[in-house]
Chain A
Amino acid sequence: MAKPIDRRGFLRIAGASLGFGALYHVAPALASSGPAREVAMELARRNGESVTPFTFVQLSDTHVGFSGPPNPTGTRAFEQAVAIVNRLPQAPDLILFTGDLTHDSDDRTERVRRMRRFQEIAGGLRMPIRKTIPGEHDASIDGGLLYREIFGESSYSFDHRGVHFVALDNVSRPRPEVGAGGIDRLRNDLERYSTTTPIVVFTHRPLFDLKPEWEWFTRDGDEVMNVLSPYENVTVLYGHIHREHVHEEGHSRHLAARSLVFAFPDPGTTREKKPLPFDAEHPFHNLGLRVVHAAPGAPPSSVSLGVQDVELTLREHSGTEGFQQLLRPTSL
């Protein structure tokens, strides 16, 4: 006898499956599955819109303007990532940039130049919906003024195919925090949603104490997660740490993306927060982007497969042809 699918279990699986490409294949099967179809219909009734399968991409920490030993190639990985996303067999609906779009500078004119350059490169993406949030390198120096002037609001929300997306700014205040005003806005924004609505929060810093000594935390992250705690299906996408990381807590799943400029080491292996050294043989090793598939439901067996990342790897053809970037699936 088939195991019945309860609403909570259905959503938990859906949360885990945010990120698993195989869901793309599984979703059609759900349509013919009686219990799953009933759960999907019930959720659609409660949430006002059913979740329909779609794909989105997370890019992070492009640091346009960075120039230094950890990556002397500057924006090359970012430019290649744009080319790769444009070639994905299934065109994503959305592109989310989780902060540190640019590297900071004391010179405002230089900051403007870097932000314009970011827009120029990101403008090469064929997907019309591109959403950004700031990182501390974009916003901390002036409280996010220039960022908002060029990119628009730094905290906002929108709906897409039954999923509620929340852009959460945790970098524009002098200290690493969202702030009472931001938390109130989040609470007000979520009030109109059913607790069964799938929610994707994208932010820059982790919303939990991952490594406070490296400033890998948000001072009021616990308060943010308290506001999100009634919701049964929360995925938090963030950047900042320049490496993959998965953290699960309650109904929420926190996923960190790689950077497109340099990688940080595993904090469990070293005390020093220093970028991993540049490897001329594999200049974009440990860099990458994340492709996320969203859809309702997935078989439990898919959960262990985790997020499907693609890593930029190098193939040198000749001195004149330069770099050839290839997609290589990785596992967490």
Chain B
Amino acid sequence: MTTGSWWRTALLGAVAVAFLGSATATRASEPRIITISAKRFEFSPGEVRLKKGETVTIRIASADVTHGLYMKALGIDAEIEPGKTTEVTFTPKAAGRFTAICDHFCGPGHANMHMDFVVE
């Protein structure tokens, strides 16, 4: 191996290590994904447990009509259109039970469509 090719190989190796290291670090800090489904007039699951300070992404899909998911204190304010997946990322700052509601009218029974986030 010539001196020039040795340096090229070493440089490529260093770049590859740096890239892989970075990707690993990104994966480690990615928020936990929580999947929620919405249909008239319920969310499933009806209760999700979270840790205070832990960033999470909720991934929501509607099985029928447009719904909303609203919980001001957690910063959740989403419209969930059928055929699309909606994502909301947030970090709960305080412990407690937070009730999120469907705030997009979805028919008679809409007023009782809600779910709880329990932050520990």
Contact among A209, A219, A271 with B103 in the assembled complex (CB-CB below 8 Å): A219
Cβ–Cβ contact A141 & B72, under 8 A: no
B55 within 8 A of A: no
Residues 95-118 of chain B, each 1 if its beta carbon lies under 8 Å from chain A, else 0? 001011101110110111010000
* Residue of B68, B101, B112 ringed by the most chain A CB atoms within 10 A: B101
Cβ–Cβ contact A213 & B111, under 8 A: no
Residues 76-99 of chain B, each 1 if its beta carbon lies under 8 Å from chain A, else 0? 000000000000000000000101
A215 within 8 A of B: yes
Cβ–Cβ contact A174 & B108, under 8 A: no
Cβ–Cβ contact B111 & A215, under 8 A: yes
Q: How many residues of B contact A (CB 8 A)?
A: 18
Cβ–Cβ contact B70 & A174, under 8 A: no
> Which residues of A approach B to under 8 Å, CB–CB?
104-106, 136, 140-141, 174-176, 209, 212-215, 219, 271, 273
Cβ–Cβ contact B68 & A140, under 8 A: no
Cβ–Cβ contact B108 & A136, under 8 A: no
B66 within 8 A of A: yes
Cβ–Cβ contact A175 & B103, under 8 A: yes
A to B CB contacts below 8 Å, 21 in the list: A104-B108, A105-B108, A106-B107, A106-B108, A140-B105, A141-B107, A141-B108, A174-B66, A174-B68, A174-B104, A175-B103, A175-B105, A209-B72, A212-B70, A212-B71, A212-B101, A213-B71, A213-B101, A214-B101, A271-B97, A273-B112
Residue of A at shortest CB range from B105?
Answer: A140
Residue of A at shortest CB range from B112?
Answer: A273
A106 to B108: give the CA distance in the assembly, Å: 7
Residue of B at shortest CB range from A215?
Answer: B101
Query: With contacts A174-B66, A176-B103, A219-B103 known, is A212 near B108, CB below 8 A?
Result: no
Residues of A contacting B71 in the complex (Cβ-Cβ under 8 angstroms): 212-213
A136 to B106: give the CA distance in the assembly, Å: 11
> Which residues of B approach A to under 8 Å, CB–CB?
66, 68, 70-72, 97, 99-101, 103-105, 107-108, 110-112, 114
In the assembled complex, the CB of A315 is this many whole angstroms from the nearest CB of chain B, namely 33
Residue of B at shortest CB range from A136?
Answer: B105
Residue of B at shortest CB range from A172?
Answer: B105
A170 to B113: give the CA distance in the assembly, Å: 19
Query: With contacts A209-B72, A212-B72, A213-B114 known, is A175 near B104, CB below 8 A?
Result: yes
A175 to B105: give the CA distance in the assembly, Å: 6
Cβ–Cβ contact A215 & B103, under 8 A: yes
Residues of B contacting A106 in the complex (Cβ-Cβ under 8 angstroms): 107-108
A219 to B101: give the CA distance in the assembly, Å: 13
A214 to B101: give the CA distance in the assembly, Å: 8
Cβ–Cβ contact B101 & A141, under 8 A: no
A271 to B98: give the CA distance in the assembly, Å: 11
Q: A106-B108, A212-B70, A214-B101 are in contact. List 8 more A-B contacts (CB 8 A).
A: A104-B108, A141-B105, A141-B108, A174-B66, A174-B104, A212-B71, A215-B111, A219-B103
A306 to B18: give the CA distance in the assembly, Å: 71
A140 to B99: give the CA distance in the assembly, Å: 22
A214 to B111: give the CA distance in the assembly, Å: 8
Residue of A at shortest CB range from B66?
Answer: A174
Q: Which 5 A-B pairs have the closest CB atoms?
A: A140-B105, A213-B99, A104-B108, A174-B104, A174-B105
In the assembled complex, the CB of B119 is this many whole angstroms from the nearest CB of chain A, namely 15
Cβ–Cβ contact B110 & A140, under 8 A: yes
Query: With contacts A213-B99, A215-B103 known, is A175 near B68, CB below 8 A?
Result: yes
Residue of B at shortest CB range from A212?
Answer: B72
* Residue of A140, A174, A214 ringed by the most chain B CB atoms within 10 A: A174
Residue of B at shortest CB range from A105?
Answer: B108
* Residue of A104, A175, A209 ringed by the most chain B CB atoms within 10 A: A175
In the assembled complex, the CB of B102 is this many whole angstroms from the nearest CB of chain A, namely 9
In the assembled complex, the CB of B40 is this many whole angstroms from the nearest CB of chain A, namely 11
